Amino acid sequence: MGSERVLMYHAVGTRSAAHDPHNLFVPPESLRGQLRALLDRGWTPLTLDAYLRGDSPSRSVLLTFDDGYQAFLDEGLPVLRELDVPATVFVLSGLLGGRSGWMPEMPDEPLVDADGVRRLVAAGLDVECHGWDHSHLAGTDPETLTRNVTDAARALAELTGRTPRAYAYPYGDHDAAARRAVAEAGFEVAFSVHEGVGRFAVPRVDITSIDTDLTFRMKTWRAYPALRRLSGHAPALRSGLHSMIGRAPRR
**Distances, alpha carbon 226 to alpha carbons 7, 51, 192, 213, 238, in Å:** 15, 22, 16, 20, 13
**Cβ-based neighbour number of residue 229 at 10 Å:** 12
Which is nearer to Zn ion, 44 or 70 (by Cβ)? 70
We find the least distance from the C-beta atom of residue 171 to Zn ion, in angstroms, to be 7
Which is nearer to Zn ion, 151 or 212 (by Cβ)? 151
Q: Dihedral of the CA atoms 40, 43, 46, 51 (nearest 10)?
A: 180
Residue nearest to Zn ion (CB): 66
We find the least distance from the C-beta atom of residue 67 to Zn ion, in angstroms, to be 4
CA distance 202 to 213: 25
We find the least distance from the C-beta atom of residue 134 to Zn ion, in angstroms, to be 6
Which is nearer to Zn ion, 77 or 95 (by Cβ)? 95
We find the least distance from the C-beta atom of residue 191 to Zn ion, in angstroms, to be 11
Angle between helices 224-233 and 235-245 (to 10 degrees): 120
Interface with Zn ion (CB under 5 A): 66-67
**Cβ-based neighbour number of residue 235 at 10 Å:** 9
Which is nearer to Zn ion, 20 or 66 (by Cβ)? 66
CA distance 86 to 73: 14
Which is nearer to Zn ion, 28 or 172 (by Cβ)? 172
We find the least distance from the C-beta atom of residue 142 to Zn ion, in angstroms, to be 22
